[in-house]
Chains A and B, each alone.
Chain A
Amino acid sequence: MTCGDDLTGGYRDAGPAPDDVDLDRVWLGVAAQVWRRQPGPAERMAGRLLRSPGLARALVTTPSLLLGWVIATVVILLAGVGFTLGTGTPWVALLAPGIAAAGIAYAYGPGIDPAWELSQSMAVSDRMVLLVRALAVFGLNAALGLAASAASGAAAAVTFGWLVPMTAVCALALAVATVTRSPNVGVAAGSAGWVIALLASQAAEGRFTAAITDSFLVLPYLAFAAGCGAVVLFATRIPRGSS
């Protein structure tokens, strides 16, 4: 028995339904209203900004924007604040790029987004889903990192300095995750890239923090991020020769 049968059965005592009433259609109208999901405020705002309800829905289902991920990010950055205040080393600034890179690599892809295969056959472009999710993850992580930096006085001088390296590390993670179709490989590449940058700073200038404080690195970071962005766009291009 379907719910529609239940509904019509409930009215049976009132006498037979008029012949011209399509009860199945009536039930579907009722069901559509009863089952209907009310989008949350974030989804409604994203829908208005993106002008696409589908893209907004895809955004709020980003695996690395879900509550568990956000809580984990906050916990790590709070620990960073504690270590920064305790040691004087700007741990928040050193941690933030790696955290954001992991979040971006885990925003989309096979094995991470359960419906990735289906998403690829949808009218709302999978490239748009990827880019919007990446931007949202980056934005959220940057905001959390900035808040954590502001809370740790020792890092105040480099609060904005790490945003540029974070862009480069995130772009690397995203590019590798996209090309290899493996978010895990993307996370590994982003993390390895950032560790190498820190070790290189230590070797060259005797301090890890040179990777986020040396202004001459800004242009190379941005160029590297742009190169990785180009790789992402190339890897998600519309293949020619399909027709």
Chain B
Amino acid sequence: MNVELTELTRKFGHTQAVAGVTLQAGAGVFGLLGPNGAGKTSLLRMMATVLPPTSGTLRLLGRDPGGYGPRREIRRRLGYLPQNLGYYPGFTVYDFVEYFALLKDMPPGQVPSAVATAIEQVGLGDKARIKLRTLSGGMLRRVGIAQAIVNQPELLLLDEPTAGLDPEQRVAFRALLREFGERATVIVSTHLVEDVAAACSEVTLMDSGAIVFHGTPDELIAQGEGSGAAGDAPLERGYSAILAAARSGVAARS
């Protein structure tokens, strides 16, 4: 298993962002769904070793990220696209991807070809020498994806990766996700159920910091059948039905 989380929690002051999440993931594409404030980003940041958990157990790629050596090894094999990608406006696309390839400790000799491959994979070959300040939001998102995949990661964590992408780019991106999912663990946080339907083999639904559903997209769809839940697509109805059930359960307990 590349990701093993046991009773993972994260608090910010009195706010519990992640509440006792237990999850295991091997190779494949995993969708992390949930409304705003559900704890998806906090969970992803903990898996990216950016944010330490308040309690619980976290093992990534068979290693304990609490120690310096194992964490460095995890980070060498990790790809992470944060929700808000900061960038240096004066950098070119190539410079930016190369910068993070170097920070990922890739052997310098391998960096140029790895950077060129990543840039081509996200379809920005004709923009490689263009400065980031001139790119559109969708193109910047693709630059972010390129830096995440430049080291051919074994664990790829993507927070809202399709935000700003046009429909054609989304289709290409989902194909890329499926390709990575054949050999790596890809976890995609999104609020777009169509991304999950098209690319994910498993889906986890979070609400109020806790996992309220884990299964295949078909199982999620089945949850919505005959429930009368709101939604234009079967997956959306399943999503709404589970959230409604989880929230009524919370209300009943409180």
In the bound assembly, the distance between CA atoms of A134 and B245 in angstroms comes to 52
| Interchain CB contact under 8 A, B103 and A122 | yes
| Interchain CB contact under 8 A, A239 and B78 | no
| Interchain CB contact under 8 A, B128 and A238 | no
A124 lies within 8 A of chain B by Cβ? yes
| Interchain CB contact under 8 A, B86 and A118 | yes
A215 lies within 8 A of chain B by Cβ? no
* Distance to closest chain B CB from A21 (angstroms): 17
Given A122-B104, A243-B57, are A31 and B66 also a contact pair (CB < 8 Å)?
Answer: no
Choose among B48, B59, B100, B129 the residue with the greatest number of A CB atoms under 10 Å from its CB.
Answer: B100
In the bound assembly, the distance between CA atoms of A35 and B91 in angstroms comes to 13
| Residue-wise interface mask of B (97-134) relative to A, using a CB-CB cutoff of 8 A (1 in contact, 0 not) | 01110111100100011011101100101101100000
| Interchain CB contact under 8 A, B86 and A122 | no
| Interchain CB contact under 8 A, B103 and A124 | yes
Given A57-B102, A238-B68, A242-B65, are A114 and B87 also a contact pair (CB < 8 Å)?
Answer: yes
Looking at the complex, which one of A35, A114, A119 makes contact with B103 (CB distance below 8 Å)?
A119
| Interchain CB contact under 8 A, B120 and A2 | yes
| Interchain CB contact under 8 A, B84 and A32 | no
* Distance to closest chain A CB from B65 (angstroms): 6
| Interchain CB contact under 8 A, B113 and A29 | yes
| Interchain CB contact under 8 A, A123 and B103 | yes
Looking at the complex, which one of A29, A35, A238 makes contact with B67 (CB distance below 8 Å)?
A238
| Interchain CB contact under 8 A, A54 and B67 | no
In the bound assembly, the distance between CA atoms of A132 and B70 in angstroms comes to 22
* Distance to closest chain B CB from A80 (angstroms): 30
* Distance to closest chain B CB from A195 (angstroms): 32
B178 lies within 8 A of chain A by Cβ? no
In the bound assembly, the distance between CA atoms of A6 and B16 in angstroms comes to 53
In the bound assembly, the distance between CA atoms of A86 and B66 in angstroms comes to 57
A180 lies within 8 A of chain B by Cβ? no
| Interchain CB contact under 8 A, B123 and A243 | no
A116 lies within 8 A of chain B by Cβ? yes
Choose among B64, B95, B125 the residue with the greatest number of A CB atoms under 10 Å from its CB.
Answer: B125
B233 lies within 8 A of chain A by Cβ? no
Which positions in A face B, CB cutoff 8 Å? 2-4, 24, 27-29, 31-33, 35-37, 52-54, 57-58, 61, 113-125, 238-243
Q: Which 4 A-B pairs have the closest CB atoms?
A: A114-B86, A239-B52, A122-B103, A32-B112
